[in-house]
Every structure is written in structure tokens, then in C-alpha cells.
A and B are shown apart, each in its own frame.
Chain A
Amino acid sequence: MLTDYSTIGIFFLLSLSFPLAALGLAALLRPKSKFDPEKIVPYECGVDTKGRTWVRFKVNYFLYALVFLAFEVETIFLFPWAVKFNKLGIFAFVEMIIFLIILLLALFYAWKEGALKWY
């Protein structure tokens, strides 16, 4: 018998076959593409591309990612608590409320400091 996670592992290998089969079928059916330097320039609405694309990007995105990280870790804490909520009783409930309040305060702090502002 397969365990749950070995099933998922085998399913992962099987699902790799789906895009590979689709791409393989397309490779068999499609016409051979003729080389043409004009055809393979980056598409930027007909205008030649200027400068590099891989540049340092706007810092806003990074700030959101940092706040996201804090919340995502919190989610991991909340899941086991939510599952066992009915058995844990009042103590765990109060504890988690304090935790949530601290997090909400942190969110408002980040908000006030301008991490959530979009320039």
C-alpha cells in the first residue's frame, strides 16, 4: 500500500508528464520555424527595446514581501491552534487573542511607518 505522501510524490512525477506530452505533441505538429533576427527581438509594442530589463526594482515590493513573511509565519502558528480550538479551552483562546492583538498592532505600526504606501 502507498502512504499518503508517496502517492503525492508519484502524482507529482505523473503530472510532469502532462506538460511534457503537450509540448512534445506541439513539437511534432508545428512547422519548423525559420530563423529571422527580426522575429526574435523582445516584443515591446514594435519599439526597439532600450536599456536593460534586469535592473534594481522598486523597493515597495520588497517591503510588502517583508510584512508578508511575518504574517505567513503567523498563519503557520494559527493553523494548529484552529484545528485543536475546541479542545484547548479558554487559556489558549486568550493567549491567541493576545498574539493576534500584537500582530494587529504590528500591522498598524507598519501602516503608520509607510510600509504599505504605494509610491
Chain B
Amino acid sequence: MRGAETFFIDLARLIVTWLEKQGMSPLVADIVLLVIQFICIAAIVTVNIIILIWLERKISGFIQQRLGPNRLGPWGIFQTIADAIKLLTKEDIIPSQTDKIIFRTAPIVFIVISLMLYVVIPFGDGMAIVDLNMGVLYFISVGSLGTIALLMAGWGSNNKWSLLGAMRAVAQMISYEIPLAFSLLGVIMIAGSLKMSDIIAAQNNVWFVFLQPVAFITYFIAATAELNRGPFDMPEAEQELTAGAYTEYSGMRWALFFLAEYTNLFAVSAMAAVMFFGGWQGPWLPSWLWLPIKAYIIMLVFFWLKWTLPRIRMDHLMSFSWKVLIPVTLVNLVVTGCVLQFFK
């Protein structure tokens, strides 16, 4: 079991020592290792989206008492691959009145930002690409940059649906970012560090979800809104805005947006697992299996919520963040502080 636990770390060390034996300087060897790690992450992201889309369609089918994809392969598991090939071979349409540069860069910005989130995620014991000493802050700040990409897409499209969708997305995402950051503060106060590995180590005895239940619930709600997922999918409410900021996008550019959304979904779920569910800690299985398992369970809850609850109206959505979530998270912060201060 010990061998399985450190398999990837041993492999990385083996590659670096082998490269250095070939006469490379340690710096170049590190860069080559980073390239390999990046390729692994790109592969994880791509495989993940193929599984996730299939899973979401199957689950939504189950919830709505229909079959879901069932033609290609057993239980329709090749459906997403066929969709990906279709998207790859679609012709490229850029509408006439768009701001060409902004329109073309928006999907690139979005996917790059969501890939940057994976730098600090600890996939297993000591398996983060960088165990940054301010990992949580990095995650929140990079994650919030996605707003800019959506605004670029909506403004650049020069389409009324897109602009409305983008404006809604921006208003919603900046509103829910504050409760998101505040709910993580309680965890940080207990752990006393912004470093992912320290936070996981602090959960050796008890998971933070039991110490900070309110923070977990507010984090979960705020994360759903940050991801623009149902019931908070007002920005792309298809019945009224066609597809929100993505209306004018087609083919590969649209696919990049879609890919980035699911990439973000996995990142946020992995973050929830790290902050509240002990990260990669768990019995029997190696640590690099525990984090994906926990993240997938959290994502199943995201799917379940999306396909169960009706969409929330825009004004309710905004006032829920400002008038309920922010006061609640602030009170949670004060209570946590009191408990830590007086019952230590």
C-alpha cells in the first residue's frame, strides 16, 4: 500500500533524477517536470469533462424520469466524445458586429483562468504543483477573475442577450464572492494558515465541516452562484436569454467556455473537499484517490441541486447574497472568534 501512496511522487523524483543524469541543469529538469505535470492536468481536465457531462446528463435524466443518453456505447458513455468531435468540426462563425479581438480572447481568458486554479489543488499527499503559502487567497483571487472573461464575452458579442447575461453574471459573481471569502475565513481562523497542506493537517482529528457547519453551507451556496449553476443560473437562463453571454459563440470557442465551466466546477468541489472534508485524508485507499472521490461526491450534490430546484429571480438572488449570506457569514466569523478566544 505504501508504494501506491507515493507512486506519483516517486515517479516525479525518478524523472527529475533521470533528466539530471542526462546532463540537464536542475532548473531545466524542473521546467520539464512542470511541463509533464501540466500535460497531466490537461488530461485530467479533458477526461473529467467527458465523464462529468455524461454523468450530469444521466443524472438529470434519472431525476426527470427519462433515460438520458443511451445510444452510443453501453449506457451512452460515448455520447460526450461524439459531441466533442462534433464541436471540433463545426464551422467558425464570428458575427459581423462583434468586437473581434475581445470576442476571440474571451474564451481563452476563461479557460486559462480555470486551469490556473489547479496549480494549488493538492491532489494527494504532497501532490500539489505548488503548495503556496497563501494558497486559499490565490484560489479565491484567481477564481474571481472569471468575471472578466464573462464580461468580455458579453460586451464583445454586441448582442442584447449576451450583454444582459454578462451584466447579470458580473453582478451575481461579485455579490457572491464576498460570502465565499468570508465563509472560508472561519476555517482559516481555526487552521491558522492559508496553506492547503496546513489546512488539511489541521483536520487530522475532526473535519472542519463539523466545526464550521454554517460556513460550509454558505460556502456551498456561494460557490453554486459563483459557478453560475442552477438554481443560480440567471446569467444564462435559456428560457429568457437564449444562452446569456455565450449566445454568439459556436463550435470550439463555445466548447472552451463549456469546458472551463466544468473545470471550475471540479476545482471548486476539490476546494470544498480540502477546506471542509479533510482533503486527501482517508483510510485504506491512497490519498490521490480520496480527493477525487470527495470532489465527485460534492459535484453530485451540485448536479442534484441544479436539477431539483427552480431558478431564482434576479432581485431575490441579489438580495439573498447581501441581506442574508453576508450578515450570516459575518456573525459566523464573530462567533468563531469568540469560541476560539474564550474556550481555548
Q: Does B22 sit at the interface, judged by CB under 8 A?
A: no
Task: Decide: B194 and A19 in contact? CB cutoff 8 A.
Answer: no
* CA A61 to CA B161, docked complex, whole Å: 16
Q: How far is the CA of A7 from the CA of B89 in the complex (A)?
A: 34
Return the CB mask of B82-117 against A: 1 if under 8 Å, else 0. Answer: 000001111111111100000000011001100110
Is B60 located at the chain interface by the 8 A CB criterion?
no
8 Å CB contacts to B: which residues of A38-80?
Answer: 39-45, 49, 53-54, 57-58, 60-61, 64-65, 67-68, 71-72, 75, 78-79
Q: Kindly state the separation between the CA atoms of A118 and B157 in the bound complex, as whole angstroms.
A: 26
Considering the chains assembled together, what is the distance between the CA atoms of A83 and B185 in angstroms? 8
Known: A2-B30, A43-B242. Contact between A22 and B256, CB under 8 A?
yes
Q: Is A85 at the interface (CB under 8 A from chain B)?
A: yes
Instruction: Determine whether the beta carbon of B247 is less than 8 Å from that of A43.
Output: yes
- Chain A residues contacting B344 (CB-CB under 8 Å) are 86
- CB of B171 within 8 A of chain A? yes
Q: B15 at the A/B interface (Cβ < 8 Å)?
A: no
Say which residue of A23, A31, A87 sits within 8 Å of B91 (CB atoms).
Answer: A31
A31 to B341, CA, bound (A): 66
Stretch from B2-10, B274-282, B326-334 contacting the other chain? B326-334
- Distance between B301 CB and nearest chain A CB, rounded to angstroms: 26
Contact with B along A96-116 (1 / 0, CB 8 A): 110010011001000100001
A43 to B189, CA, bound (A): 49
For residue A28, give the distance in angstroms from its CB to the closest CB of chain B.
9
* Given known A23-B253, A61-B167, A68-B174, contact A33–B160 (CB-CB < 8 A): no
Count class of interface residues, chain B:
35 or more
The answer to whether B53 has its CB under 8 Å from any CB of chain A is no
Query: At the interface, is chain B mostly helix, strand, loop or mixed?
Result: helix
Q: Which residues of B contact A18 (CB under 8 A)?
A: 42, 111-112, 115
Tell which of A53, A61, A100 touches B160, judged by Cβ atoms closer than 8 Å: A53
Q: What residues of A have a CB within 8 angstroms of the CB of B333 in the complex?
A: 78, 100
A118 neighbours in B (Cβ, 8 Å): 314-315, 318-319
CB-CB nearest in chain A for B338: A93
Q: Interface code B154-193, partner A: CB below 8 Å = 1, 0 otherwise?
A: 0101111101000100110011011001100100110011
Identify which of A68, A86, A90, A97 contacts B192 (C-beta below 8 A): A86
Q: Tell me the smallest distance from the CB of B143 to a CB of chain A, in Å.
A: 13
A:11-41 near B, CB below 8 Å: 11-12, 14-16, 18-20, 22-23, 25-27, 29-33, 37, 39-41
B50 within 8 A of A: no
Which residue of B34, B189, B256 contacts A10 across the interface (Cβ within 8 Å)?
A: B34
Interface string of B285-320 (1 = CB under 8 A from A): 000000000000000000000000000001100110
Q: Is B1 part of the contact surface with A, judged by Cβ < 8 Å?
A: no
The answer on a CB contact under 8 Å between A4 and B171 is no
Contacts of B341 in A (CB 8 A): 90, 93
Find A30's partner among B89, B116, B167 (CB 8 Å cutoff).
Answer: B89
A29 contacts B89, CB within 8 Å? yes
Q: A85-B337, A116-B323 are in contact. Are A42 and B248 (CB under 8 A)?
A: yes
Between A and B, 5 residue pairs with Cβ closer than 8 Å are A40-B95, A78-B182, A83-B194, A85-B337, A97-B337
The 5 closest A-B pairs by CB, nearest first: A118-B315, A26-B252, A15-B115, A33-B91, A14-B38
